[in-house]
Amino acid sequence: MLLSRLPARRRAAAAWRARRPFAAGLLVAAAGAEILLVPVAGTGLIVHTGVGGYAAFLLGLFLVALGAALWFAPDQRVPVALLTVLAALAAFVLTNLGGFLVGTLAAITGASLAFAWTPPADDG
């Protein structure tokens, strides 16, 4: 098998990724980071809607935490995915359109991937 030709550490990392919804968690955490950073990265485009600055900070951090939860508590992926969708929708309304839609869509996609993920068949 192709995997067996990889160095041992890379194989271990690949096995670690296979045991959890890795891409889903990464996408959700990246969405949180994007929502978090949009008000901070000061270009001429930046938007604050009232509480938007604080909401972006809190919801961004929350999404990063949810992404971490997908990695480190993959058993809880269904409730975490539902919370992620709700947080992404809240971010759309409360922050800068959820990081100009990118963050909200990435978080929803990541949550759906996590929801669809199933643990690999127990082969060792």
What does the binding site for other proteins look like in residue numbers (CB under 8 A)? 42-50, 52, 81-82, 85, 88-89, 92-93, 104-105, 108-109, 111-113, 115-118
Closest approach of Cβ 9 to other proteins, in Å?
A: 28
Residue with tokens 């975490």: 80
Closer residue to other proteins, CB minimum distance, 4 or 43: 43
φ, ψ of residue 118 to 5 degrees: the values are -130, 145
DSSP 121: P
Closer residue to other proteins, CB minimum distance, 5 or 122: 122
CB 52 within 8 A of CB 95: yes
100: how many CB neighbours lie within 10 A of its CB? 15
Closer residue to other proteins, CB minimum distance, 8 or 80: 80
